[in-house]
């Protein structure tokens, strides 16, 4: 190599060329070396990172400029981890475009704001990726001692990566990716981050069995900051999360401790139904069900002084983008999300400043955060942290059951018949409870009545519509997972939906089958502990709210079915109803389409 000054000069001259040049493989390598030199990046470190080899230079990684980092990462994504044989045709690169890209990299730290700023770098980055895929030659998987990294799904847009593809049709994206890379783990770049999606039930359960290797807590802390905007002081200023708050939440949601909350919800939803006027015109089933649940659950959680409908619009605006921010999309680019989040936090601050009568779970959480102490804004954030996971998922389970069952020829009548038979038998066996079983739904369900069809349609709806990423971070060093080596700090995503939609795991997986979880003898098939049915995640971090969710959905369904007769307006309904992308990765996805009922 020449001395550094002359080398940089030669590199700049090469990059300023306006000609279209056909480079040989050696010249391709010189070109990328020139790029590295011009961006002040150690070529050995770049090459080592892209090839998976150990660096040949002892020089530490320099403070790479943000735009170069994004470009470099995306070039690797574009090559998909697959290196091409050296016999491919020579490349043709437009050097003026490429030079403009490098100039963009070094000019400033700001993100591009107009199409004229980002279009050219995108095109040039795509061309450069092809060059890198030819130049870099990692060791073959057959070489002794070599451990493969999971394959990367190719993408061509810097920073965005596969985000838009996934957003457009998540199921189609992962179905195609699993077909091309059937090893059980696939790497995906989206919104400036790299995720490793684990799509095999066996590998997912290996992760759940090793919580000290694949940890949830770093991920939770990241979400608390990026999504709910908790301050660093609240997150890291005390051991509250691990030492006090999480154990309190788990204790409060244990079956023996949550029955008061369940009974409160039953009473409030019955009250809402009794005083709610029956619509004279067809209404959206989604609006009817979700709003009714929102008000009743809000009263049960926060007490009758909580103005749930006063927060409805803000919650809806916040909820629609939570999953985007949690997966890396900058909140600053989602103005509605930020505005609605701040409004929700403000509403909870107002609520906490006034006398209120919350449930035991919320009272205990409030005592902890006041004891730490938190400032008012962080207290409002913590209330939002408790409220969003519940309302973003539980009522949607009820809605998905109704959406599917009402489209079937028999409608909801089989569910009502099963409830009536079991309720009548329970009332006869428990004369101490006066009146209909519908006035004692909590006690009725506590007796574990035989409701195989109701249990099956709920379990099937969760299988069909749940998309829980169940994310983990690799901690305490590298770790083998199946045939792959996962690196310390890697973000692991347990893609339970991939398992739920796998034809090898569930016959006719793409269909909603109401009796899927009914045994041949007519009894209910158990799902608890199943290594294939995982809507609540698994391992020691399995969702502690699963018991509450089960009671909530059954009580809500029983209340709706015994108080309303739903008739579908096929003309106004938005058909077909499919699983939309909203809330992907964080529980029950939202339906795309709706039924109108009267």
Using CB atoms within 10 Å of the CB of residue 416, give its burial: 0 to 12 exposed, 13 to 18 middle, 19+ buried: middle
SS3 of residue 511 by DSSP: coil
552 upstream amide cis, omega within 30 of 0: no
Given this model, what pLDDT does residue 131 score?
43
Kind plus residue range of the DSSP H or E element containing 233: helix 232-236
Q: Could you give the residue ranges of the DSSP H alpha helices within 359-447? A: 360-371, 376-391, 394-405, 413-429, 441-446
Task: Decide: 253 and 548 in contact? Cβ < 8 Å.
Answer: yes
What string of pLDDT tens digits covers the 598 residues of the chain? 444 444 434 443 433 333 333 333 344 444 455 444 444 444 444 444 444 444 443 333 343 344 344 444 444 443 333 333 333 333 333 334 434 443 433 333 333 444 444 444 444 444 444 444 433 334 334 334 445 889 999 998 888 899 889 988 999 999 999 999 999 999 999 988 899 999 999 999 999 999 999 998 788 888 899 999 999 888 888 777 668 888 899 999 999 999 999 999 999 999 999 988 777 899 999 999 999 999 999 999 999 999 999 999 999 999 999 999 998 888 989 999 999 999 999 999 999 999 999 999 999 999 999 888 889 999 999 999 999 999 999 999 999 999 999 999 999 999 999 999 999 999 999 999 999 999 999 999 999 999 999 999 999 999 999 998 889 999 989 999 999 999 999 999 999 999 999 999 999 999 999 999 999 999 988 776 567 999 998 887 788 899 999 999 999 999 999 999 999 999 999 999 999 999 999 999 999 999 999 8
**Tokens 């809330």 sit on residue:** 583
pTM across the whole model:
0.76
- Grouping H, G, I as helix, E, B as strand and the rest as coil, residue 377 is helix
CB atoms within 10 A of CB 84: 14
Would you tell me how many other CB atoms lie within 10 Å of the CB of residue 347? 20
Picking from 541, 521, 469, 472, the residue whose alpha carbon sits closest to that of residue 500 is 469
């Amino acid at each position: 190599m020449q001395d550094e000054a002359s080398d940089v000069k030669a590199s700049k001259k090469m990059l300023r060329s306006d000609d279209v040049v056909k480079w040989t493989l050696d010249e391709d390598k010189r070109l990328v070396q020139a790029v590295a030199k011009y961006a002040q990046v150690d070529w050995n470190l770049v090459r080592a990172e892209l090839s998976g080899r150990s660096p040949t230079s002892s020089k530490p990684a320099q403070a790479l400029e943000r735009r170069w980092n994004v470009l470099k990462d995306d070039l690797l994504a574009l090559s998909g981890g697959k290196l091409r044989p050296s016999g491919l045709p020579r490349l043709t690169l437009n050097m003026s475009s490429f030079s403009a890209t490098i100039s963009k990299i070094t000019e400033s730290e700001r993100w591009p704001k107009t199409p004229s700023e980002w279009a050219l770098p995108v095109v040039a980055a795509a061309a450069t990726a092809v060059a890198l895929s030819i130049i870099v030659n990692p060791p073959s998987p057959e070489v002794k001692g070599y451990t493969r990294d999971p394959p990367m799904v190719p993408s061509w847009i810097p920073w965005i990566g596969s985000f838009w593809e996934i957003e457009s049709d998540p199921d189609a994206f992962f179905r195609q990716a699993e077909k091309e890379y059937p090893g059980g783990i696939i790497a995906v770049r989206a919104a400036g981050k790299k995720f490793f999606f684990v799509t095999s039930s066996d590998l997912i359960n290996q992760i759940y069995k090793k919580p000290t290797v694949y940890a949830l807590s770093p991920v939770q802390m990241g979400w608390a900051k990026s999504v709910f905007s908790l301050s660093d002081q609240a997150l890291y200023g005390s051991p509250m999360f691990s030492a006090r708050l999480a154990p309190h939440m788990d204790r409060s949601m244990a079956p023996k401790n949550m029955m008061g909350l369940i009974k409160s919800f039953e009473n409030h939803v019955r009250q809402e139904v009794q005083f709610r006027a029956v619509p004279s015109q067809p209404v959206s089933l989604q609006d009817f069900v979700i709003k009714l649940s929102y008000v009743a659950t809000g009263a049960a959680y926060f007490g009758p002084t909580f103005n749930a409908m006063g927060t409805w619009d803000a919650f809806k605006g916040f909820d629609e983008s939570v999953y985007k921010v949690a997966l890396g999309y900058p909140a600053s680019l989602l103005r509605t999300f930020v505005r609605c989040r701040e409004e929700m936090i403000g509403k909870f601050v107002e609520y906490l400043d006034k006398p209120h009568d919350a449930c035991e779970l919320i009272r205990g959480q409030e005592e902890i955060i006041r004891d730490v102490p938190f400032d008012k804004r962080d207290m409002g954030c913590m209330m939002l942290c408790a409220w969003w996971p519940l309302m973003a998922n539980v009522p949607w389970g009820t809605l998905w059951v109704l959406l599917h069952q009402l489209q079937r020829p028999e409608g909801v009548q089989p569910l009502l018949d099963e409830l009536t038979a079991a309720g009548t038998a329970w009332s006869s066996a428990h004369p101490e409870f006066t009146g209909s079983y519908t006035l004692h739904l909590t006690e009725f369900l506590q007796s574990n009545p035989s409701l195989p069809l109701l249990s099956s349609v709920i379990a099937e709806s969760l299988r069909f519509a749940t998309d829980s990423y169940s994310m983990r971070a690799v901690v305490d060093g590298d770790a083998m997972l199946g045939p792959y080596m996962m690196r310390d700090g890697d973000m692991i995503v347990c893609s339970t939906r991939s398992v739920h939609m796998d034809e090898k795991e569930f016959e006719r997986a793409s269909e909603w089958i109401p009796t899927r979880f009914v045994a041949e003898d007519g009894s209910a098939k158990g799902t608890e502990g199943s290594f294939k049915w995982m809507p609540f995640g698994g391992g020691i971090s399995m969702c502690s709210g699963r018991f509450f969710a089960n009671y909530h959905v059954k009580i809500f369904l029983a209340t709706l079915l015994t108080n309303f007769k739903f008739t579908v307006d096929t003309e106004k309904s938005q058909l077909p109803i499919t699983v939309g992308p909203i809330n992907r990765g964080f529980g029950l996805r939202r339906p795309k389409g709706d039924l109108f009922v009267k």
